Structure 1
Amino acid sequence: MDPIVKKNNKKMLVGIVTSDKMDKTVVVAVEGRVLHPLYKKYITRTKKYKAHDAENQASIGDRVQIQECRPVSKDKRFRLTAVLEKAR
């Protein structure tokens, strides 16, 4: 019998940190492009996610990668996996 293999089906998103004022939490703005149904033009949509940052390593303006995880609190469903680019 084959061992059960679990796949990692968790969302990975890349965005910019907009707030780091909370302890161990950052707010990440993720931009996405959607096609307008009538005018057929692409529109930029921004969604904000709260992510768990255990070491408080991200600061405002950093480009970060976040991954979906189990609920950490009422609003936090993502955790910070990497700081891709520090703010200048």
Structure 2
Amino acid sequence: MPRRVMEGVVVSTKQDKTAIVRVERRFLHPLLKKTVRRSKRYHAHDEANAAVEGQTIMIRECPPKSKLKRWEVVPADGGDA
């Protein structure tokens, strides 16, 4: 089964080997017919501590690594981490 992949902005890198990524989604409001923006924060595993705050990165689903981490940062070369 394919893993979900999302793109977001790094908002925090204070934890070791963890990046908190804000992923924004847009959808049309069913009643108002207006575009609405909603965001959610994901804890992503960053083995190399390479993420920098403000950077746009890709994250993908992975088996649970800790209580909150179910995502991992996709390396820039696109290979498996």
Aligned equivalent of 1:68: 61
Which residue identity does 2:57 align to in structure 1?
V
Aligned residue for 2:34? 41
RMSD: 1.4
Structure 1 CA distance for aligned equivalents of residues 56 and 28 of structure 2: 25
Deviation at 1:34, TM superposition (A): 1.5
Task: State the partner residue of 1:21.
Answer: 14
List alignment gaps of at least 5 residues for structure 1. 1-7, 84-88
Q: Partner letter of residue 65 of structure 1? A: M
Whole-angstrom CA distance in 2 between matches of 1:45 and 1:82: 26
Deviations 1:16-73 (A, max 9, x none): 0000000000000011002112101110111110000001000100110000000011
Q: How many residues align?
A: 77
Match of 2:75 among 58, 76, 82: 82
Which of 30, 50, 60 is matched with 1:57 structurally? 50
Match of 1:10 in 2: 3
Structure 2 portions without partners, runs of 5+:
77-81
Query: Aligned equivalents of 2:51 and 2:62: distance in 1?
Result: 18
The 3-state SS of whatever aligns with 1:79 is strand
Computing the radius of gyration from Cα coordinates, the structure with the larger value is: 1
TM-score, length basis structure 1: 0.82
